[in-house]
Amino acid sequence: MKGKQPENLRTAWIDCAHRMGYFCAENNEAALPFDGLMYRDTNVVAVKLKKVRYSPGEDFLLDKKFPDEVEALRTLPLPPTVHRELWLRTQNERAFRRFWIVPGSTTVEIQEITRDGYRNPHYQNGYWENAPYRVDILFGKDGGGEGSSPKTP
């Protein structure tokens, strides 16, 4: 057989979590509908993995597309301090899309977590570059770095 072996979904999420600085524990209890826990410092996250053939698109509702997985994460018998995430991976993408499942009735796609070094592959960079609330912080001795100039005269 030629080429690289396809990556296992379970080992891929553990490698990704390790790169972000988390430790992982796989779920061995079949009655609980999640794949594993990742933890670091004071953060504990229950992770459910989902692999789909085709990308669901840019603007889709996770609650409508995968209602069973979202409801299963919401009803986990875990304390409310444990975050719940659904990690979605498609056949043609090599990166996970992370969705935060809020215990109420909200799901949020995580765009970027700088502490973890995670950036969504569908991150809308153009939108954030043109946002009206962008602030440039200048570093250096007297507030300016090499080649930097303040925006106001």
152 in any annotated domain: no
In a domain, 144, yes or no: no
What CATH code is carried by the domain that includes residue 81? 3.40.1350.10
Cα angle: 14, vertex 96, 107; to 5 degrees: 110
Q: Please give the residue range of the domain that contains residue 124.
A: 9-136
Average pLDDT of the chain, as a whole number: 79
Residue 4 within a domain: no
92-137: per-residue pLDDT in tens?
777 788 889 987 778 888 777 777 777 776 666 666 566 666 566 6
150, part of any domain: no
CA distances from 96 to 18, 32, 47, 87, 110 (A): 14, 22, 12, 6, 11
Q: How many folded domains does the chain comprise?
A: 1
Dihedral class, residue 23 (left if φ above 0, else alpha if ψ from -120 to 50, else beta)? beta
Q: Would 17 be classed as within a structural domain? A: yes
pLDDT at 153: 43
Please indicate, yes or no, if residue 87 is contained in any of the structural domains: yes
Assess if residue 15 is contained within a domain: yes
pLDDT in tens, 29-39: 888 889 999 99
In a domain, 40, yes or no: yes
